[in-house]
A and B are shown apart, each in its own frame.
Chain A
Amino acid sequence: DVKVTQSSRYLVKRTGEKVFLECVQDMDHENMFWYRQDPGLGLRLIYFSYDVKMKEKGDIPEGYSVSREKKERFSLILESASTNQTSMYLCASSFGRKGAEQFFGPGTRLTVL
């Protein structure tokens, strides 16, 4: 079974803190994605990566950065957390072809106070 794991299920941080969200997949997928999910807005893509050390901006990259030093790991970084970044963060991975099925982790519920 494909497994995508995220470092935390729940996280509470203070405004201005630096936040790291880690995602690891065990299926040797080329593609990895970070989304945030908010009610009524569905899933919005923050960043994605098609290969190691490669990253592309999604729809809402402002306030976020990413790192992909190894194929299996994709990290999302909030340089200075703000209250409007309170959300559910979902990591996903997929094989390299366009439109391939995405496999998701369980999500991290981040609250910024």
Chain B
Amino acid sequence: TQLLEQSPQFLSIQEGENLTVYCNSSSVFSSLQWYRQEPGEGPVLLVTVVTGGEVKKLKRLTFQFGDARKDSSLHITAAQPGDTGLYLCAGTPNTGNQFYFGTGTSLTVIP
């Protein structure tokens, strides 16, 4: 069992549709990060959420940290082909020092 579980694992949608990706854990995190990884590259940080209930927006991407700081979501409005990639949540639980990545969501946006 992974510390951070993401759903769905795969998502294929048409350009212009909306979608939500979920990141869940039974552990409490002081902060959670979201990364995007494009084919042939390493992951790149999109955002860090720190406060329970926090909402951050990055253009068409909206990130939310759960009130209990055990989960997070990423919502994309009007998806574009350029949004295609692997989305990963990540963080360090309060009880430890190790950094964990989620299982990942592979998104394909079809033109």
- Chief secondary structure at chain B's binding surface: loop
A92: Cβ under 8 A from any B Cβ: yes
The 8 Å CB contact of B33, one of A44, A101, A107, is: A101
Asked whether, in the complex, the Cβ of A58 is within 8 Å of the Cβ of B98, the reply is yes
Cβ proximity bits B42-63 to A, threshold 8 Å, 1 near / 0 not: 1111001000000000000000
A61: Cβ under 8 A from any B Cβ: no
Asked whether, in the complex, the Cβ of B40 is within 8 Å of the Cβ of A42, the reply is no
A74: Cβ under 8 A from any B Cβ: no
Asked whether, in the complex, the Cβ of A99 is within 8 Å of the Cβ of B88, the reply is no
Interface residues of B (CB under 8 A from A): 2, 4, 6, 9, 30-31, 33, 40-45, 48, 88, 90-92, 97-104
* Extra 12 A-B pairs, beta carbons < 8 Å, given A42-B88, A98-B30: A4-B42, A42-B6, A42-B102, A45-B101, A48-B98, A98-B97, A99-B99, A104-B43, A105-B42, A106-B41, A107-B40, A107-B41
